[in-house]
Every structure is written in C-alpha cells, then in structure tokens.
Amino acid sequence: AGATALRLVTISAYTDLRCSTPSYDSRVWREDSRRGDVCFSSGDAEQDRQQGRVWAQQYAARPEHATHPEAAPYYASDGALGALPPTLMVVGDEESMLSESTELAARARAAGADLTLSVYPRMWHVWPMYSEACRCPEPGAVLCEAEEALAQIAAWCRA
C-alpha cells in the first residue's frame, strides 16, 4: 500500500494572531460603499484589531503564543514554510486577513513551498461557508463564489 499524500487547505487563514498586517486597515467594512470585510470587520480598524487579539488570546492562551509559529504560521521560519506540504490558500480580497495570506504565501513560495493562492474578488472572511442567494439565477441557490471555491478545493484535494 502506498503512502497517503498530505495536502493542506486554508480558507481565510488567520495566521497573524497579532492582527498586524495592512489589510486590517485597507479592508475595514464601509457601509457607504458596501466594501470591506462584512463578516470580520466592525467598521473600525483598531476595534477589529483589538477583537482579533481577544480571539487570539482565547485560542493561544498566553500573549507570547500570538507569535509562536505553531499557533500563528505567519511567524514561521522560512525553513518551516519551505517544508509545507502542497498547500492551497483560499482568501477573499475584501477580508481583513487578506495581506497576512498573501504575505505568508509569498514567503512560503520563496522558501520553496508548492503553494497555490486563490484570491476571490469581492469576497469576505470565510465566504465559502455561506449559503445565501447571490447573483445565482435559481431561487434559493447558494452563493456562486462559495460554490466555485468549494469546487476548487475539492478538485485540488483530488489531484
């Protein structure tokens, strides 16, 4: 029997538990333009960062864990990133975590990782998990972009 191939998929990865990357400012929700991260952003970048750090503390237990690579891969060494299994990162271009995903992906690729980054236009944090009607012609249809992302993930995992 052959070995099972390990693959990694992330959806809207929360890799920087300090919430320090630029998209926390550039992707803040704006009601007037209906742009930004409607799911993760309150409309106030500093409040969003503080809330993200509260969630990080609940997840990572102690403040010093917020930069530990096992809890926050954004802080992993180039060697660790280069050793990642084949990875697919799916992220929306409106979400607060966009830049931590794009920066981590760039570093991992530079370190030699086989990493595919898919950035979906106008999508917010964890949009593939939503089943709202949107631009789909059929009544009650799921979010088309969610279906597309889930189909991409399934195809990538089967490859």
Cβ–Cβ < 8 Å for 40, 124 = yes
Q: What pLDDT sits at residue 94?
A: 94
Residue 25 has pLDDT above 70, yes or no: yes
Q: Would the pLDDT of 133 be above 60?
A: no
pLDDT value of residue 137: 58
pLDDT of residue 155: 96
Q: What is the DSSP string of the chain?
A: -PPPPP-EEEES----TT--STHHHHT--BTTTTBS-TTT--S-HHHHHHHHHHHHHHHHSSGGGGG-TTT-GGG--HHHHHTPPSEEEEEETTSTTHHHHHHHHHHHHHTT--EEEEEETT--TTGGG-----S-SSTTPPPHHHHHHHHHHHHHHH-
Determine the pLDDT at residue 39. Answer: 83
Q: What is the pLDDT of residue 140?
A: 57
Tokens, residue 38: 């409607």
